[in-house]
Amino acid sequence: MSADDETLKLLEVALTAEIFNRHTDLDINDLTPECRELFAVNGDQEFKRPLLLSEGLIKRNLGIADACAKLSSIPIIACEDFGQRIRVPSLEAAAGWFVRKGGIPLIRNNPTLAFFLQESDTAQISYEEVRARNPPYEDTRAYTTKKIAEILAANEEFRHALDLVIVSSPEEIEQNFEDIICTEEQKRIIGKIHTAREYRDLLARHRIHEVGKLLFVGPPGTGKTSLALALSREMHLPLIEVRLSMVTSQYLGETSKNVDRIFDFAKKFAPCILFIDEFDFVAKSRVADDHGAMKRAVNSLLKNIDRISLVKDSVLLIGATNHPQLLDEAAWRRFDEIVEFGLPDNEMRLQILKTITASIDCHCDFAMLAAETEGFSGADLRIMVKEALLSALMERRTYITDQDIERGILLIGSRGAVRTQNWL
């Protein structure tokens, strides 16, 4: 970072603190993630104001030494008590200097500055647009951790549920909704969920509660888990992932209670997504297992699915199965939407290939590849491209060709052959 860049960054955080302290209608989502970390803002009211800025704080968090010396050339900045407090006595003058010296790109990513400068003809900034782009605090791991701690402080029993799930904040999830190639029917159902969340109060007034229970059905590798994860980022909802096989196999005697705890925890943690992978394990248990504890666990699971709702509880329930033929009628009835995930057709394979290789220098005929990979799942296509890139790198190339892709196709074929082997 150059000296000029450092000065602009210092003035940005100083302005942010001063504006945020003066305008009490601004909240935590008007601070950038960097400023939340800098000022140790974690959502508690007592930590919001005043935001205090010092040389030591800047050096520890931004890595910029001698902040007061760097700001000494700006007469509109005050360093008090030997750098223990950095203030902006004249906001208007400091903001004008900041804009003139090239601060507009920083303003476009800082809701607090955009709020103060939104009526400035020079800046031409929309506060609403800047705030909408700013990652919300509720999407962060810090928020998720704090909320879990509050739930455990109120009821230590929920710790048992936490041992059986993985809780992820939206910011921790790598899958982006824009990178998922959905069918028109999948898009329609997702749009319906968006609408139901927007009109939750109206649906509740009309006692329409059976909304937001989705069952993802399809063969492995067709994107069921990826879409569930991507919806977490898209809808700004933390994701609670449950592995039913682990719940039942490791805690058989306590399984029924643990299922109750997981659903109770989801309701306490709401709004969130509760994702139950391997949902077919329920049907297998109902058909094939005579163990009394297992039957009670299955009944507990189905009962809890009946009692949870997006409208009443702000919990979006998603189950996923590779084996829909194993689900009995009682399990099917619990879901208001069955979302089918089939193997991609030619057009979808073409879109998936373009998405996967968007950041790769690919000298390939995508139309030919889409036709040649009939029967491949989305996961197969990703493995194919990964193998092609590794093949190119082994030859000290950073671009891939049709020949590299052919090696990937051969790998998928050999994997399929091994999978169908009968070793007995």
Write the CATH number for 414: 1.10.8.60
Segment 18-28 shows an average pLDDT of: 93
* 106, 57: one domain: yes
Give the span between the Cα atoms of 19 and 117, in whole angstroms: 10
Residue 14 inside a domain? The answer is yes
Q: Which amino acid is at 106?
A: L
Residue 267 inside a domain? The answer is yes
Residue with tokens 């520890």: 60
Q: CA dihedral defined by 111, 114, 119, 125, rounded to 10 degrees?
A: -110
* 327, 360: one domain: no
Which tokens belong to 418? Answer: 């091994």
**What pLDDT does residue 196 have?**
95
Residue 18 inside a domain? The answer is yes
Q: In the chain, how many H helices and how many E strands?
A: 24, 10
* 207, 325: one domain: yes
Segment 386-409 shows an average pLDDT of: 92
Query: For residue range 228-265, what is the model confidence (pLDDT) as tens digits?
Result: 999 999 999 999 999 776 676 555 567 778 888 899 99
Question: Reduced to 3 states, what is the DSSP secondary structure of residue 241?
Answer: strand
Which stretches of 67-199 are DSSP H helices? 67-71, 91-100, 104-107, 111-117, 127-133, 141-154, 158-162, 184-198
Residue 147 inside a domain? The answer is yes
Residue 290 inside a domain? The answer is yes
Give the span between the Cα atoms of 228 and 180, in whole angstroms: 10
Query: For residue range 105-148, what is the model confidence (pLDDT) as tens digits?
Result: 999 999 999 999 987 766 678 999 999 999 999 999 989 999 99
* 330, 353: one domain: no
Contacts of 393 (CB under 8 A, 6+ apart): none
Q: CA dihedral defined by 169, 351, 379, 282, rounded to 10 degrees?
A: 60
Which tokens belong to 412? Answer: 């998928």
* 272, 124: one domain: no
* 303, 393: one domain: no
Query: For residue range 293-306, what is the model confidence (pLDDT) as tens digits?
Result: 667 777 888 899 99
List the one residue out of 275, 263, 181, 185 whose CA is nearest residue 223.
181
Segment 65-72 shows an average pLDDT of: 86
Q: Provide the domain count of the chain.
A: 3
Query: For residue range 335-355, what is the model confidence (pLDDT) as tens digits?
Result: 999 999 999 999 999 999 999
Residue 326 inside a domain? The answer is yes
* 279, 256: one domain: yes
List the one residue out of 368, 375, 320 whose CA is nearest residue 345.
375
- Domain end position, chosen among 285, 305, 340: 340
Burial of 389 (0-12, 13-18, 19+ CB in 10 A): buried
* 334, 352: one domain: no
% of the chain residues with pLDDT over 70: 90
Residue 424 inside a domain? The answer is no
Give the span between the Cα atoms of 400 and 393, in whole angstroms: 9
**Strand ranges for 213-366 from DSSP E:** 213-217, 239-243, 272-277, 315-321, 337-340, 361-363
Which tokens belong to 248? Answer: 């039942």
Give the span between the Cα atoms of 169 and 114, in whole angstroms: 27
* 87, 174: one domain: no
**What pLDDT does residue 423 have?**
41
8 A C-beta contact, residue 24 and residue 84 = no
**What pLDDT does residue 253 have?**
62
Q: What is the pLDDT confidence band of residue 424, given thresholds at 50, 70 and 90?
A: very low
- Domain end position, chosen among 134, 169, 202: 134
Q: Which structural domain range is residue 388 located in?
A: 346-419
Which stretch of DSSP H or E encloses residue 234? helix 224-235
Give the span between the Cα atoms of 112 and 133, in whole angstroms: 13
* 306, 400: one domain: no
Angle at 267 (CA atoms; ends 167, 166), nearest 5 degrees: 15
* 31, 72: one domain: yes
Query: For residue range 79-102, what is the model confidence (pLDDT) as tens digits?
Result: 887 767 888 988 888 898 898 889
Give the span between the Cα atoms of 147 and 152, in whole angstroms: 9
Mean pLDDT of the chain: 87
Write the CATH number for 171: 3.40.50.300
Residue 180 inside a domain? The answer is yes
- Domain end position, chosen among 305, 340, 375: 340
List the one residue out of 270, 275, 276, 273 whose CA is nearest residue 313.
270
* 320, 370: one domain: no
